[in-house]
C-alpha cells in the first residue's frame, strides 16, 4: 500500500478543500435547480427538455412502461400508449407563438395554456417518414400548464423527434438554452450542477446508462445529459462545479474526463482525441471544471450518503481508529477520480480541472496542512 499526500485543508467544520492549491476561484457561483416541469426555470429553447415523461391516459400520471415506451422515452404506438400525455409548467417562458414538430403517423393534441392555431398544421411524408409541424399560441392567462396528448400512432410509425420550440427558434437551432436563462447565469462565475444531475438520488453506475441529449425529456431521475451540461457551460461561458454519482465506476469516470476534453459522438460515446467536427462539443478550452464526488456526503439520509457509508464500511484501506469513515471514503474515492482524470489530462490537468472535497475535519488526522493520513492510503 502507498501513502499519498492529497490536499491542503482549513480547520473549518465542515471542511472544504481543493486538490490543487493553484485552482482557486474568486467569484460568486450558483446552484441551478433541478430540471423538473414544475420548477419554472425555463432553461431550454426546446421546451421538450422540461416535459414530464409520457404517462398513460386517464390523468393519473403513471409513466409508460414496458413495451409501451422505447429507450428514448417515446410511446411505441401500442394501443396502451395511444392517449398518452405529457405536460409541463410554462412558468418563466414568454407568451407567444411556439412551433410544435414531430414525426409519426398520428397526431398531437394541445390543451391547457396552449392551443394549435387554426390552419397552421402542415404534414409531409418523405421516404415513408411523416413529419407534422404546427404553430401553438401560448397565453398564460388561463394558467401555466400545457398538455400534449398522443393519438393514433402505430408500432410501425410511432411518435419520434418531438420538439416544442420557443418563439423565434427553429427546430434545428444551435441555441440549446433559453437566452434569458443564459443572460442570468452569465452574471455568475460558476454554475454548480448538483441538482441538474440529481446527484443525491442518482444510482448511475455504467456510462451506457446515463441520459443522452437525444432522449425525449431531460427530467429523468438521473438529471440532464452531460452533453447538455457542457453546452450550458459553453453558452454561458462559465466554469462549472461537476458532481459525480457515487456509484460511477472507473470506466464511467474515464469516459467523463474524455467527454469533457474531447466531446462525444451522436450515440454518446466519448471521443478519445480532438475531433474536427464533434457531434457533441467538448467544454470550451478557456473554461474549468471543479469535480466533487457526490454532494456533501456528510449529510444524512440521501441515497448518495447511504451508498458512501456502505462503501466506507467495506473499504479495508480506511483507518477505523479515526471517526467519520464516510469522510475518509469520499476522500479516498476523490483521489482515485483525480488519478483517472490525470490519465486523460496528462499535461494540462491543473489548468482545466480542480477537485473539491467536503467533510468534517475530524475525518482526518494530523494538524492542518498537507494530509498524509490513512484516509487516503490505497494500493
Listed residues 114, 138, 165: the one ending a domain:
165
Does one domain contain both 68 and 146?
yes
pLDDT at position 320: 85
Based on the fold, state whether residues 142 and 204 are members of the same structural domain.
no
Give the pLDDT band (50/70/90) at residue 144: very high
pLDDT digits (tens, 9 = 90+) for 190-248: 999 999 999 999 999 999 999 999 999 999 889 999 999 999 999 999 999 999 999 99
Measure Cα distances from 101 to 210, 274, 286, 346, 354 in Å.
26, 34, 36, 44, 41
pLDDT score recorded for residue 220: 87
DSSP state of 103: E
What distance in Å separates the CA atoms of residue 45 and residue 324, rounded to the nearest whole number? Answer: 45
Q: Is residue 309 part of a domain?
A: yes
Same domain, 321 and 194: yes
Higher pLDDT, 375 or 168: 168
Of 165, 198, 223, the last residue of a domain is 165
Residue 4's nearest CA partner among 347, 339, 320 is 339
Question: Which of 165, 187, 213 is where one domain is finished?
Answer: 165
> 32 pLDDT exceeds 60?
yes
Q: Are residues 88 and 124 in the same domain?
A: yes
Phi, psi (degrees; rounded to nearest 5) at 268: 85, 10
How far apart CA 99 and CA 168 sit, in angstroms, is 9
Is the domain of 56 the same as that of 125? yes
Please, are residues 326 and 308 in contact by the beta-carbon 8 Å criterion? yes
Q: Residue 23 pLDDT > 60, yes or no?
A: no
Query: Closest by alpha carbon to 10, among 377, 374, 371?
Result: 371
The arithmetic mean of pLDDT across residues 119-139, rounded, is 97
Tell me: do 209 and 335 sit in the same domain: yes
Given a cut of 70, is residue 366 above it in pLDDT? Answer: no
The answer to whether residue 117 sits within a structural domain is: yes
Neighbouring residues of 52: CB distance < 8 A, sequence distance ≥ 6: 37, 61, 86, 87, 88, 217, 219
Q: Which three cell numbers stand for residue 298?
A: 456528510
Residues 225, 191: Cα–Cα separation, whole Å? 15
2 vs 250, 268, 372, 376, CA distance in Å?
19, 36, 10, 9
| Domain shared by 272 and 363, yes or no | yes
Dihedral angle, C-alpha 364, 366, 370, 371, nearest 10 °: -40
Contacts of 94 (CB under 8 A, 6+ apart): 138, 166, 167
- Number of domains comprising the chain: 2
User: What are the angstrom distances between the C-alpha of 79 and each of 84, 96, 140, 326, 356?
Assistant: 10, 34, 33, 49, 50
pLDDT at residue 376, rounded to an integer = 34
CA 275/CA 264 separation, integer angstroms = 9
Per the structure, the complete domain to which residue 327 belongs is given by 2-34+177-378
pLDDT at residue 60 in the model: 82
Phi then psi for residue 183, to 5 deg, are: -60, -40
Burial, 314: exposed, middle or buried (Cβ in 10 Å; 0-12, 13-18, 19+)? exposed
pLDDT tens readout for residues 44-96: 999 999 999 999 998 888 999 999 999 999 999 999 999 999 999 999 999 99
- Residue 54's Cα: distance from chain center in Å? 19
- 235 to 35, 132, 177, 216, 298: CA distances (angstroms): 17, 30, 8, 22, 33
42 within some domain: no
pLDDT for res 364: 54
Per-residue cell: 310: 456502505
Output the nine-digit C-alpha cell for 84: 398518452
Contacts (Cβ under 8 Å, ≥6 apart) of 264? 227, 270, 271, 278, 279, 280
Is residue 360 one of the residues assigned to a domain?
yes
DSSP string computed for 168-195:
T--TT-S--B-HHHHHHHTTSSEEE-TT
Please tell me the predicted confidence (pLDDT) of residue 4: 33
Q: pLDDT confidence of 20, banded at 50, 70, 90?
A: very low
CATH number of the structural domain spanning residue 73? 2.60.40
pTM higher than 0.85 for the full model? yes
Closest CA to 102 of 139, 77, 80: 77
What's residue 369's pLDDT? 33
Amino acid at each position: 500500500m502507498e501513502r499519498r499526500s492529497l490536499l491542503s485543508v482549513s480547520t473549518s467544520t465542515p471542511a472544504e478543500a481543493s486538490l490543487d492549491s493553484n485552482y482557486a476561484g474568486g467569484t460568486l457561483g450558483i446552484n441551478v435547480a433541478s430540471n423538473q416541469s414544475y420548477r419554472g426555470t425555463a432553461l431550454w429553447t426546446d421546451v421538450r427538455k422540461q416535459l414530464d415523461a409520457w404517462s398513460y391516459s386517464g390523468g393519473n400520471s403513471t409513466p409508460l412502461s414496458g413495451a409501451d415506451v422505447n429507450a428514448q422515452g417515446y410511446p411505441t404506438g401500442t394501443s396502451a400508449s395511444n392517449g398518452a400525455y405529457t405536460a409541463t409548467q410554462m412558468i418563466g417562458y414568454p407568451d407567444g407563438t411556439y412551433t410544435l414538430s414531430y414525426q409519426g403517423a398520428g397526431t398531437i393534441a394541445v390543451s391547457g395554456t396552449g392551443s394549435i392555431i387554426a390552419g397552421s398544421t402542415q404534414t409531409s411524408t418523405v421516404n415513408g417518414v411523416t413529419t407534422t409541424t404546427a404553430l401553438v399560441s401560448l397565453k398564460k392567462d388561463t394558467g401555466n400548464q400545457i398538455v400534449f396528448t398522443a393519438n393514433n400512432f402505430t408500432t410501425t410509425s410511432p411518435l419520434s423527434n418531438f420538439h416544442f420550440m420557443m418563439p423565434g427558434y427553429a427546430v434545428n437551432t444551435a441555441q440549446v438554452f433559453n437566452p434569458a436563462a443564459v443572460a442570468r447565469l452569465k452574471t455568475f462565475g460558476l454554475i454548480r450542477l448538483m441538482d441538474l444531475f440529481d446527484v443525491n438520488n442518482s444510482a448511475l453506475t455504467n456510462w451506457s446508462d446515463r441520459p443522452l441529449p437525444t432522449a425525449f425529456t431531460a427530467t429523468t431521475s438521473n438529471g440532464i445529459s452531460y452533453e447538455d451540461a457542457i453546452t450550458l457551460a459553453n453558452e454561458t461561458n462559465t466554469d462549472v462545479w461537476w458532481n459525480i454519482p457515487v456509484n460511477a465506476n472507473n470506466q464511467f469516470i474515464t469516459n467523463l474526463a474524455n467527454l469533457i476534453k474531447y466531446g462525444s459522438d451522436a450515440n454518446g460515446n466519448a471521443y478519445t482525441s480532438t475531433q474536427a467536427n464533434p457531434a457533441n462539443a467538448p467544454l470550451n478550452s478557456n473554461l474549468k471544471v471543479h469535480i466533487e464526488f457526490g454532494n456533501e456526503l456528510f449529510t444524512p439520509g440521501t441515497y448518495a450518503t447511504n451508498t458512501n457509508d456502505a462503501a466506507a464500511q467495506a473499504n479495508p484501506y480506511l483507518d477505523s481508529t479515526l471517526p467519520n469513515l464516510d469522510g475518509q471514503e469520499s476522500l479516498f474515492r476523490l483521489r482515485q477520480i483525480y488519478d483517472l482524470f490525470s490519465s486523460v489530462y496528462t499535461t494540462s490537468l491543473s489548468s482545466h480541472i480542480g477537485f473539491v472535497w467536503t467533510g468534517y475535519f475530524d475525518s482526518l488526522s494530523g494538524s492542518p496542512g498537507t494530509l498524509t493520513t490513512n484516509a487516503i492510503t490505497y494500493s
